[in-house]
């Protein structure tokens, strides 16, 4: 058995950590969301929250107070040229070294392309458990082979194409590590009054870590803000064609919403991948989600079933989407969507004179 | 003489993407055993990248999988597409492995093969969707990694020294990976492990010629060809395929290794070597519909929109 929480105890308590992802001094939203959940877990365990912040220069450094405001008690700040851009080898060496030195009991990463590149490398180096793409984290107990384990991290995630929900534990290895899907934890409010400590970390990369070079990074302007949308209007295979999809777009425009899509619609080439909602796309929780011609696979439902209200329009009354919907319309979306557009324009005009009904067409 | 040595790591998985009615139990949950098995889709993309490099630069492509004897099917499918050598890691000691224990066994297999210039695998498997085995295998091998690769831009094979035991040096790979809202291009020295996404390519179908060659020739040259994967007495077989005139047309090396062959530490294999445990599994059950049904008429839709505005759901 690997030792619980390791041998050398440089800290008296085993904290809950978040490995923060930042680009150009802007933290990934999921990192801030995780600080909120880390706060709750740490409170339950009676320990503190640590945040690992790495980068080069002032921009990264300037993030530390924001991390404290969102819930970190200690920010481990590593400032080194080799950490300017995310690269697996120097980052894995840094994070694994910090974990060995400070023995946190839980380490969380965003389930982004960066987090899912870094966390497995660290888990392998530390020979500890890692659960991918979690959608919930809780503290609980477990008994196994006459052993009682208390205060374990329950790592909850969909598996098997979303057909099952598994709760994973790592009873005998520390730290317990998980990557967590973006958008499933609630973003904590920033509290500028919170106080925390910034610990500057010495970092010396191994020359071999610098063998991989970033040639270029192209970040396209983010045009689709599904996560922040109040209204999402999504189309699926039932839309039938690229032309049919224009109707979905018109409804989204009319309602001031954002266009979403099922994987089938994306695969059909009717709409770009950055509109995809679901397990392999974006997780959304708008005030209103309108599913047009989407049958509602588990993979799709996993990305939208937390929406405040869901309206499903489908010609098949047996479509699984109706089981998560609050409102259902069984009918031809090519007839129903124009009815919705007209209804909104007239009601909207009656209720609010400032909304120009012609402006959206 | 092929210069590049490529090992492709693949997995046979249940086809979770196409859950049919037959796999649904009466309580609305999935009967996992009833799902057909498939070649994990992104592993096929990884194999395709290897075969493209073989076509372009010349390479020896070895495909390895860990699984029960039936997993040999994905190895056969790899041979049909053009792999040169296949390895089945099969042993009860491997059972119950999580990603850490899996990556340990796979890394030993790559080592036993003498290492590789490139190790390729799919980004993730559709049963677990963890995307962890690639990076963990890279770490265990001490190789750099480039994950989520949507394009291999360039490969320069290493130079093989005539002296110092044929030491390989100087090669590199440049690859582009998809990241949130964009992409990045990285250059790594060889050896390197890449995980490949479905964006990378359209995998070639099995070659009719290779299927026919293997099938017909197998029947003539080696009647129990298929079972050669499973022979507990042999851990290696050179399968020589003959055409109808008895001339050799292609060779495939079939290897079968257990934990002894890998010289593995048993404590690091299978369930024993896995830090994680599944505490609980819940099937996702479709809840009874509670949706309020709205008539697809002007009156019905008007009333709904009115209500949504009243409740400030719509602005």
Q: What is the pLDDT of residues B88-101, one digit of tens each?
A: 898 899 999 999 99
Q: What are phi and psi of B234, to 5 degrees?
A: -115, 140
Q: Last residue of a domain, which of A156, A177, A211?
A: A211
Average pLDDT over residues A322-331: 93
- CA B139 to chain A, closest CA, distance in angstroms equals 6
Q: Say if the Cβ atoms of B16 and A133 lie within 8 Å.
A: no
CB proximity A291 to B under 8 Å? no
Q: Name the nearest CA neighbour of B95 among B265, B231, B259, B254.
A: B259
Angle at A92 between CA A87 and CA A93, to 5 degrees: 110
Whole-number Å distance between alpha carbons of A99 and A7: 12
Alpha helix (H) ranges present in chain B?
41-57, 72-81, 99-112, 133-141, 208-221, 298-310
Instruction: Establish if B293 belongs to a structural domain.
Output: no
Q: Output the pLDDT for position A267.
A: 86
Instruction: Establish if A116 belongs to a structural domain.
Output: yes
Whole-number Å distance between alpha carbons of A173 and A137: 17
With contacts defined as CB-CB under 8 Å, which chain A residues touch B128?
132, 159-160
Please tell me the pTM assigned to this model. 0.81
Do A203 and A242 belong together in one domain? no
Domain count, chain B: 1
Do A177 and A246 belong together in one domain? no
Long-range contacts (CB closer than 8 Å, 24 or more residues apart) made by B304-311: B304/A311, B304/A327, B304/A329, B304/A343, B305/A340, B305/A343, B305/A344, B305/A347, B306/A343, B306/A347, B308/A288, B308/A309, B309/A344, B309/A347, B309/A348, B309/A351
Angle at B236 between CA B232 and CA B237, to 5 degrees: 105
pLDDT of A59 strictly over 90: no
Q: What are phi and psi of A100, to 5 degrees?
A: -60, -40
Q: Residue A270: which domain range?
A: 231-352
Instruction: Label residue A1 exposed, middle or buried (CB < 10 Å: 0-12, 13-18, 19+).
Output: exposed
Q: SS3 for B284?
A: coil
pLDDT 10s digits, B54-63: 999 999 999 9
Do A181 and A253 belong together in one domain? no
Do A178 and A40 belong together in one domain? yes
Q: Are B100 and A86 contacting, i.e. CB atoms less than 8 angstroms apart? A: no
With contacts defined as CB-CB under 8 Å, which chain B residues touch A272?
none
Whole-number Å distance between alpha carbons of B118 and B123: 15
Residue of A88, A112, A320 lying closest to B286 (CB–CB): A320
Instruction: Establish if B194 belongs to a structural domain.
Output: yes
Instruction: Establish if B77 belongs to a structural domain.
Output: yes
* Mean pLDDT estimate for chain A: 89
Q: Output the pLDDT for position B220.
A: 33
Whole-number Å distance between alpha carbons of B67 and B11: 8
Q: What is the 3-state secondary structure (H, E, C) of B133-169?
A: HHHHHHHHHCCCEEEEEEEEEEEECCEECCCHHHCEE
Q: Last residue of a domain, which of A153, A176, A211?
A: A211
CB proximity A312 to B under 8 Å? yes
Q: What is the CATH number of the domain that holds A43?
A: 3.40.50.620
Whole-number Å distance between alpha carbons of B246 and B252: 16
Q: Say if the Cβ atoms of B186 and A213 lie within 8 Å.
A: yes
Do A201 and A81 belong together in one domain? yes
Instruction: Establish if B307 belongs to a structural domain.
Output: no
The contacts of residue B223 (CB under 8 Å, 6+ apart) are none
Do A38 and A119 belong together in one domain? yes
Q: Say if the Cβ atoms of A129 and B182 lie within 8 Å.
A: no
Do A245 and A140 belong together in one domain? no
Q: Which residue of A has its CA nearest to B129?
A: A159
Instruction: Establish if A225 belongs to a structural domain.
Output: no
pLDDT of B225 strictly over 80: no
Q: Are B135 and B121 contacting, i.e. CB atoms less than 8 angstroms apart? A: no
Q: Output the pLDDT for position A162.
A: 75
Alpha helix (H) ranges present in B58-155?
72-81, 99-112, 133-141
pLDDT 10s digits, A90-125: 999 999 999 999 999 999 999 999 999 999 999 999
Whole-number Å distance between alpha carbons of A47 and A15: 5
Whole-number Å distance between alpha carbons of A78 and A204: 10
Q: Say if the Cβ atoms of A161 and B126 lie within 8 Å.
A: yes
Structure-model confidence comparison of residues B267 and B235, the more confident one: B267
CB proximity B294 to A under 8 Å? yes
pLDDT 10s digits, B255-307: 888 899 899 999 999 999 999 999 988 877 665 557 899 999 999 999 999 99
Do A236 and A207 belong together in one domain? no
Q: Say if the Cβ atoms of B184 and A167 lie within 8 Å.
A: no
Q: Are B4 and B60 contacting, i.e. CB atoms less than 8 angstroms apart? A: yes
Q: Output the pLDDT for position B72.
A: 82
Q: SS3 for A162?
A: coil
Q: Name the nearest CA neighbour of B134 among B244, B19, B7, B231.
A: B7
pLDDT 10s digits, B118-171: 999 999 998 888 999 999 999 999 999 999 999 999 999 998 877 666 778 889
The mean-pLDDT minimum among A185-199, A307-321, B231-245 falls in B231-245
Q: Output the pLDDT for position A291.
A: 97
pLDDT 10s digits, A127-170: 999 999 999 999 999 998 889 999 999 999 988 877 788 999 99
Q: Name the nearest CA neighbour of A132 among A161, A158, A96, A163.
A: A158
Q: Say if the Cβ atoms of A329 and B306 lie within 8 Å.
A: no
CB proximity A205 to B under 8 Å? no
With contacts defined as CB-CB under 8 Å, which chain B residues touch A159?
127-129
Residue of B32, B183, B188 lying closest to A211 (CB–CB): B188
Instruction: Establish if B297 belongs to a structural domain.
Output: no
Domain count, chain A: 2
| Two tokens, residue B29 | 């949950």
Instruction: Establish if B40 belongs to a structural domain.
Output: yes
Q: Output the pLDDT for position B161.
A: 77
Q: Which residue of A has its CA nearest to B147?
A: A117
| Two tokens, residue B170 | 């100087």
Scan residues 169-208 of B and list those with Cβ closer than 8 Å to A.
174, 177-189, 192
pLDDT of A360 strictly over 90: no
Instruction: Establish if A221 belongs to a structural domain.
Output: no
With contacts defined as CB-CB under 8 Å, which chain A residues touch B131?
116, 120, 132
Instruction: Establish if B237 belongs to a structural domain.
Output: yes
Q: Output the pLDDT for position A251.
A: 95
Instruction: Establish if A155 belongs to a structural domain.
Output: yes
| Two tokens, residue A24 | 């150009």
Among B184, B185, B272, B304, the strongest candidate for a mutation testing the A interface, having the largest count of A CBs within 10 A, is B184
pLDDT band at A358 (very low <50, low <70, confident <90, very high): very low
Do A340 and A193 belong together in one domain? no
State how beta strands A213-219 and A164-169 pair.
unpaired
Q: Are B284 and A165 contacting, i.e. CB atoms less than 8 angstroms apart? A: yes
pLDDT band at A9 (very low <50, low <70, confident <90, very high): very low
H or E element in which residue A65 lies: helix A64-69
Q: Name the nearest CA neighbour of B97 among B282, B283, B284, B262.
A: B262
Torsion of CA A314, A315, A320, A326, to 10 degrees: 40
Instruction: Label residue B251 exposed, middle or buried (CB < 10 Å: 0-12, 13-18, 19+).
Output: exposed
Q: Which residue of A has its CA nearest to B306?
A: A347
Do A153 and A72 belong together in one domain? yes
Q: What is the CATH number of the domain that holds A293?
A: 3.40.50.1220
Q: What is the CATH number of the domain that holds B21?
A: 3.40.50.620
Instruction: Establish if A7 belongs to a structural domain.
Output: no
CB pairs under 8 A between A and B: 245
Instruction: Establish if A5 belongs to a structural domain.
Output: no
Q: How far is the CA of B16 from the CAs of A120, A203, B126, in angstroms?
A: 23, 43, 7
Going through chain A in order, the beta strands assigned E by DSSP cover: 16-19, 22-23, 26-27, 49-55, 74-79, 106-110, 130-134, 136-144, 147-159, 164-169, 176-180, 197-201, 213-219, 231-235, 258-261, 288-292, 309-314, 327-330
pLDDT of A355 strictly over 50: no
Do A39 and A71 belong together in one domain? yes
Q: Output the pLDDT for position B256.
A: 84
Q: Residue B20: which domain range?
A: 4-268
pLDDT of B229 strictly over 70: no
H or E element in which residue B283 lies: strand B277-283
- CA neighbours within 13 Å on the CB side: how many for B110? 30
Q: How far is the CA of B87 from the CAs of A43, A301, B102, B204, in angstroms?
A: 49, 39, 15, 21
Instruction: Establish if B284 belongs to a structural domain.
Output: no
Instruction: Establish if A357 belongs to a structural domain.
Output: no
Q: Say if the Cβ atoms of A329 and B140 lie within 8 Å.
A: no
* Mean pLDDT estimate for chain B: 84
Q: Which residue of A has its CA nearest to B23?
A: A163
Q: Say if the Cβ atoms of B279 and A330 lie within 8 Å.
A: no
Do A27 and A173 belong together in one domain? yes
Q: Are A92 and B101 contacting, i.e. CB atoms less than 8 angstroms apart? A: no
pLDDT band at B247 (very low <50, low <70, confident <90, very high): low
- Provide the sign of the torsion angle of the four alpha carbons B252, B258, B259, B261, taken in this order: negative
């Amino acid at each position: 058995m690997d030792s619980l929480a390791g041998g050398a105890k440089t800290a008296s308590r085993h904290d809950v950590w978040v490995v923060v992802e930042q680009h150009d001094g802007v933290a990934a939203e999921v990192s801030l969301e995780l600080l909120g959940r880390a706060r709750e877990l740490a409170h339950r365990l009676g320990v503190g929250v640590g945040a690992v912040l790495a980068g080069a220069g002032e921009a990264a450094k300037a993030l530390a107070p924001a991390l404290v405001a969102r819930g970190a008690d200690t920010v481990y700040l590593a400032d080194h040229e080799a950490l300017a851009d995310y690269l697996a080898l120097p980052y894995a060496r840094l994070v694994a070294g910090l974990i060995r030195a400070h023995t946190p009991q839980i380490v969380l990463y965003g389930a982004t392309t960066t987090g899912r590149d870094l966390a497995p490398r660290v888990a392998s180096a530390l020979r500890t458990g890692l659960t991918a793409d979690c959608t919930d984290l809780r503290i609980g107990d477990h008994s196994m082979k006459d052993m009682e384990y208390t205060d374990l991290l329950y790592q909850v995630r969909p598996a098997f194409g979303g057909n099952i929900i598994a709760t994973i534990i790592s009873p005998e290895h520390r730290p317990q590590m998980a990557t967590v899907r973006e958008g499933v934890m609630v973003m904590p409010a920033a509290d500028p009054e919170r106080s925390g400590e910034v610990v500057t970390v010495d970092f010396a990369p191994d020359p071999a870590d610098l063998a991989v070079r970033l040639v270029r990074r192209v970040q396209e302007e983010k045009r689709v803000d599904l996560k922040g949308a109040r209204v999402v209007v999504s189309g699926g295979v039932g839309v039938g064609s690229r032309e049919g999809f224009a109707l979905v777009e018109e409804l989204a425009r009319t309602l001031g919403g954002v266009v979403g899509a099922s994987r089938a619609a994306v695969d059909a080439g009717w709409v770009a991948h950055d509109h995809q909602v679901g397990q392999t796309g974006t997780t959304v929780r708008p005030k209103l989600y309108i599913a047009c011609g989407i049958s509602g696979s588990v993979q799709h439902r996993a990305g939208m079933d937390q929406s405040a209200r869901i309206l499903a329009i489908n010609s098949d009354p047996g479509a699984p989407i109706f089981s998560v919907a609050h409102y259902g319309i069984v009918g031809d979306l090519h007839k129903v969507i124009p009815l919705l557009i007209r209804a909104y324009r007239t009601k909207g005009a009656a209720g609010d004179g400032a909304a120009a009904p012609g402006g959206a067409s | 003489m092929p210069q590049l040595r490529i090992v492709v790591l693949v997995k046979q998985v249940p086809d979770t993407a196409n859950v049919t009615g037959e796999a649904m139990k009466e309580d609305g949950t999935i009967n996992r055993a009833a799902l057909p098995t498939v070649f994990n889709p992104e592993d096929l993309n990884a194999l395709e990248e290897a075969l493209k490099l073989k076509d372009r630069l010349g390479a020896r492509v070895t495909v390895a999988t860990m699984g029960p004897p039936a997993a040999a099917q994905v190895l056969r499918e790899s041979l049909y597409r053009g792999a040169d050598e296949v390895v089945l890691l099969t042993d009860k000691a491997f059972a119950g492995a999580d990603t850490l224990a899996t990556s340990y066994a796979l890394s030993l297999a790559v080592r036993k093969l003498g290492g590789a210039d490139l190790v390729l695998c799919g980004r993730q498997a559709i049963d677990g969707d963890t995307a962890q085995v690639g990076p963990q295998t890279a770490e265990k091998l001490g190789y750099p990694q480039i994950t989520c690769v949507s394009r291999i831009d360039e490969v320069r094979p290493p130079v093989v020294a005539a002296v110092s035991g044929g030491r390989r040096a100087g090669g590199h790979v440049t690859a582009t990976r998809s990241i949130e809202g964009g992409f990045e291009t990285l250059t790594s020295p060889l050896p390197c492990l890449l995980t490949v996404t479905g964006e990378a390519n359209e995998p070639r179908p099995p070659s009719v010629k290779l299927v026919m060659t293997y099938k017909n020739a197998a029947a003539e040259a080696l009647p129990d060809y298929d079972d050669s994967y499973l022979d507990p007495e042999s851990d290696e077989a050179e399968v020589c395929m003959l055409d109808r005139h008895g001339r050799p047309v292609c060779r495939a090396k079939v290897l079968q290794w257990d934990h002894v062959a890998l010289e593995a530490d048993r404590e690091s294999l299978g369930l024993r070597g896995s830090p994680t445990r599944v505490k609980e599994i819940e099937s996702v059950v479709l809840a009874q519909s509670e949706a309020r049904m709205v008539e697809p008429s002007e009156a019905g839709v008007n009333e709904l929109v009115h209500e949504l505005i009243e409740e400030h759901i719509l602005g």
